[in-house]
Structure 1
Amino acid sequence: MSSIPAPRRRTVLSGLLAAAAVPAVTACSGGITSLKGGGSGGSGAADSGAGLVIGTANFTENQILGHLYAEALRGSGVKATVKPSLGSREVVVPALEGGDIDLLPEYQGNLLLHFDKKAKETEAGELQNALAAELPASLEALPYAAAEDKDVFAVTRETAEKHGLKSYADLRKTDGELVFGGPAEDKTRVVGLVGFRERYDVTFKEFKALDASGPLVKGALKKGDVDIANLFSTDADIRENDWVVLSDPLHMVPAQHVVPVVRSAVADAPVRKALARLGTALTTSELSKLNRMVDVDREDPDDVAAEWAAEHGLTEN
Structure 2
Amino acid sequence: MKRKLFILLLAVALVISLGSLGGCGQGQAAAGGTITIGSKDFTENIALAHIMADMIESYTDLKVNRKVNLGGSNVALKALQNNDIQMFPDYTGTIVANYYQEETGSSEETLEKTRQLTEQDGFKVLKPFGMNNTYTLAVTRETAEKYNLKTFSDLAQVSENLVLGCEFEFQDRPDGYPGLQQVYNMNFKDVKGMSHGIKYRSISEGEVDVVDAYATDGQLKVFNLVILEDDKEYFPPYDGLPLVRQDILAEYPEIDDALNQLAGLLDDETMQELNAKIDSEGMKAEKVAHDFLV
- Normalised by the size of structure 1, how large is the TM-score? 0.78
Deviation string for 1:214-262 (max 9, x for gaps)? 1x10111011111110122122221232211111122221111111000
SS in 2 for 1:173: helix
SS in 2 for 1:229: strand
Q: Name the counterpart of 1:251.
A: 233
AA of the residue aligned to 1:256: Y
Q: Contact 1:122–1:251 (CA<8 Å) still a contact in 2?
A: no
Please, which moves more after superposition, 129-138 or 104-113?
129-138
Structure 1 position 218 matched with structure 2 position 200:
yes
SS in 2 for 1:278: coil
Taking the aligned partners of 2:91 and 2:84, their CA distance within structure 1 comes to 20
Match of residue 173, structure 2, among 185, 189, 194: 189
Q: Please give the residue correspondences for 1:156-175 in structure 2 after superposition, counting only pairs within 5 Å.
A: 156-175=140-159
Q: Name the counterpart of 1:61.
A: 44
Query: Are residues 71 and 181 of structure 1, via their aligned partners in 2, closer, same or farther at CA, if it must alter by over 3 Å?
Result: same
Match of residue 132, structure 1, among 107, 115, 120: 115
Q: Please give the residue correspondences for 1:283-294 in structure 2 after superposition, counting only pairs within 5 Å.
A: 283-294=267-278
Q: Contact 1:108–1:256 (CA<8 Å) still a contact in 2?
A: yes
Taking the aligned partners of 2:260 and 2:225, their CA distance within structure 1 comes to 34
Q: Which runs of 5+ in 2 are unaligned?
A: 1-30
Q: Name the counterpart of 1:147.
A: 131
AA of the residue aligned to 1:100: D
SS in 1 for 2:241: strand
Deviation string for 1:260-296 (max 9, x for gaps)? 0000011243111111101232222221221111111
Please, which moves more after superposition, 119-128 or 105-114?
119-128
AA of the residue aligned to 1:64: A
SS in 2 for 1:281: coil
Structure 1 position 75 matched with structure 2 position 58:
yes
Q: Contact 1:235–1:288 (CA<8 Å) still a contact in 2?
A: yes
Match of residue 282, structure 2, among 283, 298, 317: 298
Higher radius of gyration, 1 or 2:
2
C-alpha RMSD over aligned residues: 1.7
Query: Are residues 303 and 189 of structure 1, via their aligned partners in 2, closer, same or farther at CA, if it must alter by over 3 Å?
Result: same
Taking the aligned partners of 2:117 and 2:264, their CA distance within structure 1 comes to 25
Deviation string for 1:71-121 (max 9, x for gaps)? 11111113222111000012110110111100110011122112233x332
Taking the aligned partners of 2:151 and 2:199, their CA distance within structure 1 comes to 20
Q: Name the counterpart of 1:233.
A: 215
Q: Please give the residue correspondences for 1:21-100 in structure 2 after superposition, counting only pairs within 5 Å.
A: 49-77=32-60, 78-100=62-84
Taking the aligned partners of 1:231 and 1:68, their CA distance within structure 2 comes to 22
Taking the aligned partners of 2:220 and 2:178, their CA distance within structure 1 comes to 24
Q: Contact 1:193–1:203 (CA<8 Å) still a contact in 2?
A: no
Taking the aligned partners of 1:164 and 1:192, their CA distance within structure 2 comes to 24
1:49 Cα deviation from its structure 2 partner: 4.4
Q: Name the counterpart of 2:100.
A: 116
Q: Which runs of 5+ in 1 are unaligned?
A: 1-47, 311-317
SS in 2 for 1:225: coil
- Normalised by the size of structure 2, how large is the TM-score? 0.84
Q: Name the counterpart of 1:19.
A: none
AA of the residue aligned to 2:121: A
Q: Name the counterpart of 2:20.
A: none
1:149 Cα deviation from its structure 2 partner: 1.6
1:191 Cα deviation from its structure 2 partner: 3.1
Taking the aligned partners of 1:122 and 1:241, their CA distance within structure 2 comes to 32
Deviation string for 1:159-184 (max 9, x for gaps)? 11111211111123214221111111
Taking the aligned partners of 1:152 and 1:207, their CA distance within structure 2 comes to 16
Q: What is the aligned-residue identity percentage?
A: 27
Q: Which has the higher contact order (CA 8 A, sep 6+)?
A: 1
AA of the residue aligned to 2:43: T
